[in-house]
């Protein structure tokens, strides 16, 4: 049974990521027959071999089940869009997308109870109807399909129209040149697109299809291809590991996994089984919340740990494009459309050119009818005006600047996979930075330890390796509470854990596969002090001591970014009872300890360390009941273990700021580019690092917004707390005094406060984002949300991170730059080979240069079209036109050479405060283009008029010899007409004069528009461009002043007197001078510096005007006068963040006063009573 119908569906009605596109699309809806309506319905279906799988492509499947009559089957409508399948849902009366086992909303305990036995073959086949084959299929389109899609581009259709028209006019050379350029452009584009598809296909297909062991019931397993897997299947993970073909949750055993493909983090991660009892088991399974128990598609399982005779098992959660890897590939295949103002304005500008072409079209028809021109000629010449007005080489010329910028970026170690975003980098006005590995060094150094005994701190100690501390619980916690593992004999794991364990000097030993098989219980990982080389009687004593200090790690609860802690259960050799050790954020650990064990000076001590920029980790310990057995411990929830702990003390780690950080942040601040820190570290540590690197200056206040969710009858609230400033030095006093009046302040939020404020204080989140500089304890998804908030108030946001937890934010930002070169960076538009943030100003400089180049090239190509349009319109008046080889010389020799060489200007060495324009439809740019158009029009009309007033002027014939004519021509001969010798009337004095003048005009506007400082290097340093201009100027002057008959015949130029040639030189020189003066005086000085200067920046505080020089004061008066003249004095800001800044300037209650509270119940954000 097969039926099809066309429907039009809006994305807003669909679930998933496509909502953000807000685009209409047309799809073909299919229908299929199935035993049930939903994939997780309980069906009583007997096994059979011919149950169809639905063929995940566009073909419709029909289920013919001999056990289930056709009339008992249901008809389901579905369609496929962007690699996802959507099925009609009667309950919501819309199409819905089935993601996987999470759709059932099962708890962790339910997965153990109901989904640990696997699926029958029939049920597996049924679910495959809905989920399709488990593969991430990146199909490489055929060259024919790519060619068809590329050629159907409106631009190439227009080019085809132009070529047909030029062929009809016998302009074979120019048509051939355009066809050659188009073929090269299409071939290059096809090669690039196909190469990207092939690379992505190879990356995905390398581990896409593997053989897996599928469990049927408790004991039965069978080998199957990974493409057959569906959500709910149970697979066995082999002991030697595998590359995961799906997303699955581990419910039996332990795995060590390399997740670098997804996270960019090459550190192996330990995955433990899903909790089966306790409060945590009662929670609903969430892939994000339970990612420490989830094996993601594409990640590499390195090792497994298991009970003897039992398999390491996992339940399949998602398959195909629904997996984490599948969604990453889908983002690459179907990226979010780039909405950049430059490209939108370019289309508007082209529409204006189409309007100008329409005027010329009508003018040509009317003029031709008045002169009784044949109909064929009227059609060809009127259509020719359209091809002249819209330049065919515009896209190639615009792309050249981006390609050159991409090559320059590559030379400085920045690699780009999305060249269109280079222009966007030129508009960045805010950059978010990760802290660890980005602003600071990746590794941590142990500064010291601060132990606690009997509820009080002892003196700080340099390290734990002293002999007297070997048997202490503090050192035992450092030696066991980690997720380290040995891979090929080398310790691997989190750098912090590695540094902490190395400081103890202890040794880690893991059981071999043979040792594990000999014991019923899980063989533990053992840590022990190193064997000391003691001779004589001391040797046995040392061995006894080492044996008594050996610790076996029985159970591990991995670190959770949500819980901000990890713990282990260990057993000391010879002891009957077990112990629990806890490590995590100091605030969290202290809250899980007995109050009497936490020193009273805990808060003061912690703040003293974090203010100095140290990273602090707290340790705790607890002795468990002796009745607990090994097997019992394996089923306990961590909530029962991590309670009533004894506080042991603090580990103080030093995270040094990278050498380049402070200088780069200073450079960005001087360029009026705002900087933020987004980190998962402690709040006070983050604030300290922000001060040390210059993101927050010493004299500036930091206001911590500490938000609390609703509790009992209390509404959610925000407590505003001012962080103490460090002591100011004498050199800072003057600077602080100057800026006190400006009330410089920064907000600081942690992840918990960000979540509460986003949910309960939506009216405050944008106000806080306007001044917030430090975001601490932020989860990966919160970083992405922050980028979206900043984009919501019209910031152009950049994100710089090391790729570990920043992938989402890197993808969401306008410009994301990863400092990691691992596979995760495939999601980031830019990747730097240097591991510091010096790449950020380099990228912004190149972006600004590329953006200005795009503006310059677009303006030049627009002027080229208009200049040629003016020439043709004037020549149409006398029923003439430019010759075929004149068009060829202008378009190929002048325009292409200039357009491709004027894009070679490198970026300016300094990052200036002024930002380039973001729009082509802006005052200065429009004034620049219009003044040049009027100038070119005036001088072409002047040349056209003056040549007809010359005494030697007559109707040109092959016998004319104006170079030697001394008699004046009669008035009756002063009108050109068509002749039998030149039926197109190309050769005449007007044509020759306009050809010379317009050729020089192309060069003049190219030099005028090719600007250098402050965004690009001066044009005189662009030697290909200068060489081209000098060469073309010299050639044109030479053939104009010293005519060569061969060149004149080729270009269809007629001989004119030498005096007129000199006059043309004067006209051309005057034209160039006027063009330069108008551009410099009106556009650069009056408009940019005085009228539109106020629109640049406004990101940071207003600079003090107390030290203004007389020149600055004069500029201010000039700006005031011209702003009023142009009606811009009280014009509201266009971007939302400036509008918010103006509003907050008049708010007397902002920023909030210290130690005050804001409640969500209040109608307006009003500050309540002081604490």
H-run or E-run covering 1070? helix 1058-1077
The most distant pair of C-alpha atoms in the chain lies apart, rounded to whole Å, by 133
Written as one string, the DSSP assignment of 785-820 is HHHHHHHHTT--EEEEE-SSS-HHHHHHSSEEEES-
**Residue 976 confidence (pLDDT) above 50:** no
All residues at 6 or more sequence positions from 3 whose CB lies less than 8 Å from its CB, including other chains: 30, 31, 60
| Lowest mean pLDDT across 112-121, 503-512, 587-596, 1157-1166 | 1157-1166
Residues 6+ apart with CB under 8 A from 887: 171, 174
pLDDT value at 82 more than 90: no
The pair of three-digit structure tokens given for residue 64, joined into one six-digit string: 């013919």
Residue 383 φ/ψ, nearest 5 degrees: -70, -30
Rg (alpha carbons) of the chain, rounded to whole number: 37
Q: What is the separation, in whole angstroms, between the first and last Cα of the chain?
A: 73
Angstrom distance (rounded) from CA 381 to CA 383: 5
429 to each of 424, 425, 446, 523, how far by Cα in Å?
Answer: 11, 9, 37, 56
The vertex-240 CA angle with 239 and 243, nearest 5°, equals 110
Q: Burial, 26: exposed, middle or buried (Cβ in 10 Å; 0-12, 13-18, 19+)?
A: exposed
| Cβ atoms within 10 Å of 577's Cβ, excluding its own | 12
Q: Residue 946's pLDDT is what?
A: 92
Give the length of the chain: 1171
Looking at the chain, the whole-number percentage of residues with pLDDT higher than 70 is 79
The Cα–Cα gap between 692 and 655 comes to 12
Is the per-residue pLDDT at 928 higher than 50? yes
pLDDT, residue 1072, reads 93
Q: Look-up: residue for tokens 């190439």?
A: 156
Check whether 1122 has a pLDDT greater than 80.
no
Q: What is the pLDDT of residue 44?
A: 56
How far is it, in rounded angstroms, from Cα 565 to Cα 589? 8
User: No. of H helices and E strands in the chain?
Assistant: 37, 37
Q: Three-state DSSP class for 1035?
A: helix
Residue 1002 has pLDDT above 90, yes or no: yes
Q: Check if the beta carbon of residue 566 is closer than 8 Å to that of residue 483.
A: yes
- 3-state SS, 1072-1101, equals HHHHHHHHHHHHHHHHHHHHCHHHCCCCCC
pLDDT of residue 240: 77
pLDDT digits (tens, 9 = 90+) for 207-224: 678 888 888 876 778 888
Is the pLDDT at 536 greater than 50, yes or no?
A: no
> Cα separation of 67 and 1041, whole Å?
96
* Residue-level pLDDT at 1103: 37
Q: How high is the pLDDT of residue 730? A: 39
Q: What is the pLDDT of residues 356-414, one digit of tens each?
A: 888 888 888 888 888 787 888 788 778 888 888 887 777 777 777 888 888 898 888 88
Q: Tell me what pLDDT residue 300 has.
A: 83
∠ CA 481-507-589, rounded to 5°: 15
Beta-carbon neighbour count of residue 1138 at 10 Å? 18
pLDDT above 70 for 907: yes
How far, in Å, CA of 90 to CA of 168, rounded? 60
For residue 433, report the phi and psi dihedrals to the nearest 5 degrees: -120, 135
* Annotated catalytic residue within 233, 247, 384, 434: 434
Model confidence at 585, in pLDDT bands (50, 70, 90)?
A: confident
For residue 278, CA distances in Å to 582, 639, 895, 985, 1136 come to 19, 8, 75, 95, 48
Backbone angles phi, psi at 620, to 5 degrees: -145, 165
Token pair belonging to 1065: 């030189």
Rounded distance, CA 1123 to CA 1087, Å?
A: 9
Please tell me the distance from the alpha carbon of residue 958 to that of residue 969, in angstroms, as a whole number. Answer: 16
Judge whether residue 425 has pLDDT over 70: yes
Whether 434 is a known active-site residue: answer yes
Mean pLDDT of all residues in the chain? 77
The whole-number pLDDT of residue 265 equals 54
Instruction: Give the strand pairing for 24-34 and 4-10.
Output: antiparallel
Q: Which residue would you say has higher pLDDT here, 758 or 398?
A: 758
Q: Is the peptide bond before 735 cis (omega within 30 degrees of 0)?
A: no
Q: What was the pLDDT predicted at 937? A: 93
- 533 DSSP assignment: -
Q: What per-residue confidence (pLDDT) applies to 1068?
A: 94
Q: How far apart are CA 850 and CA 1044, in angstroms?
A: 41
Nearest-5° Cα angle at 811, 807 to 812: 115
Type and span of the H or E element at 509: strand 507-509
Q: Grade residue 964 by pLDDT with cuts at 50, 70 and 90.
A: low
Q: Give the span between the Cα atoms of 567 and 551, in whole angstroms.
A: 14
pTM of the model: 0.72
pLDDT digits 0-9 by tens, 268-327: 777 888 888 777 788 888 887 788 888 888 888 887 876 556 788 899 999 888 888 887
Euclidean distance between CA atoms 378 and 294, whole angstroms: 72
Sheet holding 247-252, edge to edge: 220-225, 211-216, 234-237, 312-318, 247-252, 294-295
CA angle in degrees (0–180, nearest 5) for 604-732-697? 60
Least-confidence region, from 543-552, 841-850, 908-917:
543-552
In the predicted model, is pLDDT for residue 1073 greater than 90?
yes
* Three-state secondary-structure class, residue 317: strand
Q: 1106 falls in which pLDDT band (50, 70, 90)?
A: very low
Helix (H, G, I), strand (E, B) or coil at 25: strand
Q: Which two tokens stand for residue 1013?
A: 């400082």
State the pLDDT confidence band at 1091, using cuts at 50, 70 and 90: very low
Residues 15-44: pLDDT tens digits?
A: 333 444 456 667 788 888 878 778 877 765
**pLDDT of residue 174 exceeding 80:** no
Interval 515-520 mean pLDDT: 44
pLDDT band at 1154 (very low <50, low <70, confident <90, very high): confident
Instruction: For residues 253-276, give the mean pLDDT.
Output: 74
């Amino acid at each position: 049974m097969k039926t099809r119908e066309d429907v039009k569906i809006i994305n807003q009605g669909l679930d998933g990521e496509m909502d953000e596109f807000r685009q209409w699309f047309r799809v073909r809806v299919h229908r299929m027959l199935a035993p049930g309506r939903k994939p997780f319905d309980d069906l009583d279906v007997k096994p059979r071999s011919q149950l169809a799988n639905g063929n995940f492509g566009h073909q419709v499947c029909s289920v013919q089940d001999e056990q289930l009559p056709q009339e008992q089957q249901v008809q389901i409508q579905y369609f496929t869009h962007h690699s996802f399948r959507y099925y009609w849902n009667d309950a919501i009366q819309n199409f819905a997308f089935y993601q996987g086992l999470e759709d059932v909303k099962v708890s962790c305990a339910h997965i153990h109870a109901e989904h640990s036995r696997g699926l029958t073959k029939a049920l597996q086949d049924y679910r495959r109807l809905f989920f399709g084959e488990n593969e991430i299929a990146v199909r490489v389109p055929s060259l024919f399909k790519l060619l068809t899609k590329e050629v159907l581009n409106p631009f190439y259709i227009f080019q085809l129209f132009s070529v047909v028209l030029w062929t009809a006019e016998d302009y074979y050379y120019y048509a051939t040149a355009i066809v050659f350029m188009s073929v090269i452009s299409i071939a290059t584009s096809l090669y690039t697109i196909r190469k990207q598809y092939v690379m992505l296909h190879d990356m995905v297909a390398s581990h896409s299809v593997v053989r897996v062991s599928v469990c049927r019931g408790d004991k039965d397993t069978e080998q199957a291809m990974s493409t057959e897997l569906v959500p709910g299947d149970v697979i066995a993970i082999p002991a030697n590991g595998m590359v995961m073909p799906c997303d699955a949750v581990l419910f039996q055993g332990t795995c060590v996994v390399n997740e670098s493909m997804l996270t960019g983090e090459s550190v192996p991660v330990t995955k433990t089984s899903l909790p089966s009892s306790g409060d945590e088991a009662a929670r609903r399974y969430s892939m994000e919340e339970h990612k420490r128990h989830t094996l993601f598609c594409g990640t590499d399982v390195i090792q497994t740990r298991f009970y003897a005779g039992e398999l390491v098992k996992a339940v399949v959660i998602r398959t195909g494009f629904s997996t984490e890897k599948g969604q990453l590939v889908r983002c690459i295949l179907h990226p979010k459309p780039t909405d950049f103002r430059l490209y939108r304005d370019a289309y508007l500008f082209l529409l204006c050119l189409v309007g100008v072409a329409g005027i010329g079209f009508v003018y040509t028809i009317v003029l031709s009818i008045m002169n009784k021109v044949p109909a064929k000629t009227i059609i060809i010449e009127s259509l020719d005006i359209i091809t002249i007005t819209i330049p065919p080489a515009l896209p190639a010329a615009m792309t050249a600047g981006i390609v050159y910028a991409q090559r320059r970026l590559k030379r400085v170690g920045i690699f780009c996979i999305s060249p269109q975003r280079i222009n966007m980098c030129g508009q960045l006005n805010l950059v978010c930075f990760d802290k660890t590995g980005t602003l600071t060094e990746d590794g941590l150094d142990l500064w010291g330890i601060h132990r606690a005994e009997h509820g009080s701190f002892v003196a700080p100690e340099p390290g734990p390796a002293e002999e007297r501390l070997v048997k202490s619980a503090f050192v035992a916690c450092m030696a066991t509470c980690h997720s380290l593992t040995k891979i090929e004999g080398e310790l691997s794991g989190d750098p912090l854990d590695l540094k902490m364990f190395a400081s103890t000097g202890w040794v880690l030993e893991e059981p071999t596969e043979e040792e594990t098989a000999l014991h019923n219980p899980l063989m533990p990982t053992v840590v022990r002090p190193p064997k000391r080389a003691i001779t004589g009687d001391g040797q046995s004593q040392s061995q006894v001591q080492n044996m008594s200090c050996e610790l076996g790690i029985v159970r591990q609860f991995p670190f959770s970014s949500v819980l901000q802690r990890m713990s282990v259960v260990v057993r000391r050799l010879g002891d009957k009872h077990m112990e629990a050790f806890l490590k995590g954020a100091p605030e969290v650990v202290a809250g899980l300890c007995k109050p009497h064990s936490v020193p009273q000076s805990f808060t003061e001590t912690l703040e003293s360390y974090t203010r100095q920029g140290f990273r602090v980790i707290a340790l705790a310990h607890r002795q468990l009941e002796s009745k607990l057995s090994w097997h019992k411990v394996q089923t306990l929830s961590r909530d029962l273990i991590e309670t009533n702990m004894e506080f042991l003390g603090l580990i103080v780690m030093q995270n040094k700021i990278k050498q380049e950080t402070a200088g780069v942040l200073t450079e960005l601040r001087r360029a009026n580019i705002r900087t933020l820190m987004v980190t998962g570290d402690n709040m006070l540590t983050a604030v300290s690092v922000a001060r040390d690197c210059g993101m927050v200056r010493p004299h500036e206040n930091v206001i911590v917004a500490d938000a609390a969710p609703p509790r009992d009858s209390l509404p959610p609230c925000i407590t505003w707390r001012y962080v103490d400033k460090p002591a100011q030095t004498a050199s800072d006093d003057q600077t602080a005094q100057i800026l006190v009046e400006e009330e410089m302040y920064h907000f600081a939020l942690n992840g918990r406060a960000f979540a509460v404020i986003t949910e309960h204080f939506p009216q405050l989140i944008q106000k806080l984002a306007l001044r917030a500089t430090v975001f601490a304890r932020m989860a990966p998804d919160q970083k992405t949300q922050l980028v979206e908030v900043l984009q919501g108030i019209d910031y152009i946001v950049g994100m710089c991170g090391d790729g570990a937890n920043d992938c989402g934010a890197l993808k969401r930002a306008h410009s994301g730059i990863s400092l990691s070169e691992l596979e995760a960076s495939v999601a980031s538009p830019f990747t730097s080979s240097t591991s510091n943030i010096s790449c950020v100003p380099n990228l912004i400089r190149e972006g600004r240069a590329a953006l200005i180049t795009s503006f310059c090239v677009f303006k030049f190509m627009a002027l080229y079209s208009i200049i040629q349009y003016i020439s043709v319109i004037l020549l149409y008046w006398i029923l003439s036109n430019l010759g075929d080889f004149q068009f060829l010389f202008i378009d190929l020799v002048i325009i292409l050479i200039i357009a491709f060489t004027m894009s070679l200007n490198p970026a300016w060495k300094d990052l200036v405060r002024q930002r380039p324009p973001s729009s082509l439809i802006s005052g200065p740019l429009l004034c620049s283009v219009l003044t040049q158009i009027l100038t070119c029009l005036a001088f072409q009309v002047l040349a056209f008029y003056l040549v007809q007033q010359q005494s030697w002027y007559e109707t040109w014939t092959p016998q004319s010899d104006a170079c030697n004519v001394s008699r004046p021509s009669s008035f009756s001969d002063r009108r050109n007409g068509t002749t039998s010798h030149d039926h197109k009337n190309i050769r005449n004095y007007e044509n020759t004069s306009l050809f010379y003048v317009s050729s020089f005009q192309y060069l003049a506007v190219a030099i005028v528009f090719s600007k250098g400082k402050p965004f690009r290097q001066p044009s005189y340093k662009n030697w290909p461009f200068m060489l081209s201009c000098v060469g073309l100027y010299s050639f044109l002057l030479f053939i104009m002043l010293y005519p060569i008959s061969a060149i004149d015949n080729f270009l269809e130029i007629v001989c004119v007197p030498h005096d007129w040639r000199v006059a043309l030189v004067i006209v051309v020189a005057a034209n160039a001078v006027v063009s330069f003066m108008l551009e410099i005086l009106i556009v650069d000085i009056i408009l940019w510096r005085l009228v539109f200067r106020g629109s640049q920046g406004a990101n940071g505080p207003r600079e003090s005007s107390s030290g203004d020089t007389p020149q600055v004061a004069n500029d201010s008066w000039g700006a005031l006068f011209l702003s009023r003249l142009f009606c811009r004095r009280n014009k509201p800001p266009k971007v939302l963040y400036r509008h918010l800044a103006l509003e907050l300037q008049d708010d007397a209650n902002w920023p909030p006063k210290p130690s005050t509270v804001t409640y969500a119940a209040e109608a307006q954000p009003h500050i309540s009573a002081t604490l």
